[in-house]
Amino acid sequence: MALAQIGVTGLAVMGRNLARNFARNGFTVAVHNRSPQKMQSLIEEHGDEGDFIGSESLEDFVASLERPRKVVIMVQAGAATDAVIDSLVPLLETGDIVIDAGNAHYPDTRRREAALKELGLHFVGAGVSGGEEGALLGPSIMPGGPAESYETLGPILEKIAAQVDGVPCCTHVGPDGAGHFVKMVHNGIEYADMQLIGEAYQLLRDGLSLSPAEIGEIFAQWNEGDLESFLIEITAEVLGQVDARTGKPLVDVIVDQAGQKGTGRWTVQNALDLGVPVTGIAEATFARAISSQVAQREAARDVLSASTSDWHINNREGFIEDVRLALYASKVVAYAQGFDQIQAASEQYGWDIDRGAMARIWRGGCIIRARFLNRITEAYERDGELASLLVDPYFADAVSEGVGAWRRIVSMAALTGVPTPAFSSSLAYYDALRSERLPAALIQGQRDFFGAHTYKRVDAEGTFHTLWSGDRSEVEA
């Protein structure tokens, strides 16, 4: 009997499409699901797309794979993934490769990788982005785990990944949890990007009293330039959609409470641990939380005074261009912060992640795919040690060009009372980075006052403390 080159267990929407993608690309694929109906229906409905070997038992599934076996697990993250690993492991042999392609939290991936290594097995935590359509037609794939396993697994994954300019959107990210970590930050950046787009929409709507469809047309135009991306493209589509029931713009009948599955929260929690400011991602995550705080919003609506100014827009086209420039600049900040987080984790865990390669594999297949990512890859190719994306000459110029517009938009939003947390915090971050002196000096003074936390001086080596409750002389600490 012919053996399968790769297997997929967990055939809900993602696993099913990933298995079809393998088969359509010429791989013989073994398929298995806890409840066999999903396996049977896959073969009944799509068996003609390629070579599938279906198994009802995990034992038969494992036996249908060529060695080293490559088993993709595509089930719910967390306990379900552990349960599948636990049943799979006793059936595997040294050198086999287990790939978790679900949305695992990277510390879980690190734990699983270490445990399977003890047993002589390779564990690859692979971030997969692009939703169900990406899984079928070509996702962006971010595999971590041992470099050795990528030698056999990589060519298979690269074949089913999205391709941009003939380059696959898949590369070995780094050891153990690196792949799932990068996927997590990808999702965090996705949160920031969506929030920024939302703020731009609200400004255009309130400032120019435009209809959603008219704003959709502006986004469609923006999609022809530097902002070209999947998220801008779908924004134009969503804003142009008319609700069949009411004839109103669909966006006006959707409840304004944004959901989240938790990857934004994970990104922010980790950024706090690493001490990396990801203000764009954090504000985006909190903005979703505020939107869902129904009780607080209702209580505040009629109580909190506005004291807002009226809009004064003399130049309609100029305002639209200002919003576009502010959006682009804020977006550069959000991405710069995300890449800083990847770099910090890479250093902390010894992952040696190539940031330019991450931007390259996000160019296709995934939700944040964008023209702009080419520029990020180029920036890291120019300087692999770049301190911040913002100081790369291309991005420094691009943001400097828009900084006046950015300030006008953020101040106008504050005066008119439009909440723009991501635009505003990105500008504040930009200004903090470029400031000669920050009030952190005062904070150090305060800390020394109440907690003898000491401070350093600008004009002398060493650590100092002022005797605040004594004669206020300074001593070396």
Ligand X SMILES: NC(=O)c1ccc[n+]([C@@H]2O[C@H](COP(=O)([O-])OP(=O)(O)OC[C@H]3O[C@@H](n4cnc5c(N)ncnc54)[C@H](OP(=O)(O)O)[C@@H]3O)[C@@H](O)[C@H]2O)c1
CB of 8 to ligand X, least distance (A): 10
Nearer to ligand X, 188 or 207 (CB): 188
Query: Nearest 10 degrees: CA dihedral of 367, 370, 376, 381?
Result: 100
> Cα–chain-centroid distance for residue 3?
37
Respond yes or no on whether the N-terminal peptide bond of residue 68 is cis (omega within 30° of 0): yes
Q: Is 124:153 a contact under the CB 8 Å cutoff?
A: yes
Q: How many CA atoms lie within 13 A of 376 on its CB side?
A: 29
CB of 127 to ligand X, least distance (A): 8
Q: Encoding tokens for residue 334?
A: 């959000």
Nearer to ligand X, 34 or 408 (CB): 34
CB of 23 to ligand X, least distance (A): 17
CB of 173 to ligand X, least distance (A): 16
CB of 10 to ligand X, least distance (A): 4
CB of 18 to ligand X, least distance (A): 9
Nearer to ligand X, 74 or 215 (CB): 74
Nearer to ligand X, 187 or 420 (CB): 187
Binding site for ligand X (CB under 6 A): 10-15, 33-35, 38, 74-77, 80, 83-84, 102-103, 128, 131-132
- Nearest to 416, CA basis, from 207, 208, 250, 241: 207
Specify whether the backbone of 347 is left (phi greater than 0), alpha (psi in -120 to 50) or beta. alpha
Nearer to ligand X, 75 or 368 (CB): 75
* Maximum alpha-carbon separation in the chain: 89
CB of 442 to ligand X, least distance (A): 45
Per the DSSP assignment, residues forming a β-bridge with 143 are 126
Q: Encoding tokens for residue 304?
A: 């909190």
Query: Nearest 10 degrees: CA dihedral of 358, 101, 268, 436?
Result: -10
Q: Residue 369: phi, psi to the nearest 5?
A: -60, 135
CB of 77 to ligand X, least distance (A): 4
Distance of alpha carbon 339 from alpha carbon 185, whole angstroms: 8
Which residues carry out catalysis? 183, 190
Contacts of 270 (CB under 8 A, 6+ apart): 181, 184, 341, 345
Edge-to-edge strand list for the sheet holding 29-32: 52-54, 29-32, 6-9, 70-73, 97-100, 122-129, 140-143
Distance of alpha carbon 186 from alpha carbon 384, whole angstroms: 19
Nearer to ligand X, 136 or 282 (CB): 136
Q: DSSP readout, 306-339? A: --PPPP--S-HHHHHHHHHHHHHHHHHHHHHHHH
Q: Is 370:363 a contact under the CB 8 Å cutoff?
A: yes
> Cα–chain-centroid distance for residue 378?
20
Nearer to ligand X, 79 or 303 (CB): 79
Compute and round to an integer the Cα radius of gyration of the chain.
25
CB of 157 to ligand X, least distance (A): 15
Q: Is 445:456 a contact under the CB 8 Å cutoff?
A: no
Would you tell me the crossing angle of helices 178-208 and 393-416 to the nearest 10 degrees? 50
Nearer to ligand X, 31 or 422 (CB): 31
Q: Which residue is nearest to ligand X, using beta carbons?
A: 102
Nearer to ligand X, 38 or 371 (CB): 38
DSSP 91: G
Residue 337's alpha-carbon distances to 135, 195, 265, 430, in angstroms, are 28, 15, 15, 11
Q: Is 422:195 a contact under the CB 8 Å cutoff?
A: yes
